[in-house]
């Protein structure tokens, strides 16, 4: 039994190690700099404010766009379900 549980625990530890989120300062700074550069491309007069996380703003924009696209996917012509009833 000991060998079985040792093997299972090693597998679980390996899965946990490889699928853990990247929380290093380097990855955060790279994403933050990329978000600020995208905002600078959109608006050349953009001035970053200390303490504001611009990658969060980019994530919100992507989420809003995704919600808009998925709304169109489910209801492409914005028709109500009540229009299907015929009064003939």
CA gap 55, 34 in Å, rounded: 8
Q: What is the mean pLDDT of residues 74-83?
A: 59
Per-residue pLDDT tens digits for 28-78: 888 888 888 888 888 889 888 888 888 877 777 788 888 887 776 666 566
pLDDT of 84 over the 60 cut = no
Vertex 28 angle, CA 54 and 53, to 5°: 20
Q: Is there a contact between 54 and 36 (Cβ–Cβ < 8 Å)?
A: yes
Identify which of 4-13, 15-24, 68-77, 79-88 has the greatest average pLDDT.
Answer: 4-13
State in Å, rounded, how far the first CA of the chain is from the last one: 74
Vertex 43 angle, CA 53 and 68, to 5°: 70
pLDDT of 82 over the 60 cut = no
Per-residue pLDDT tens digits for 21-40: 888 889 888 888 888 888 88
């Amino acid at each position: 039994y000991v060998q079985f549980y040792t093997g299972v625990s090693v597998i679980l530890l390996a899965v946990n190690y490889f699928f853990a989120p990247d929380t290093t300062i380097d990855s955060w700074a790279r994403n933050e700099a990329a978000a600020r550069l995208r905002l600078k491309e959109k608006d050349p007069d953009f001035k970053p404010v200390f303490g504001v996380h611009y990658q969060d703003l980019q994530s919100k924009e992507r989420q809003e766009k995704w919600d808009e696209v998925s709304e169109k996917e489910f209801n492409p012509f914005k028709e109500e379900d009540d229009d299907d009833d015929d009064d003939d």
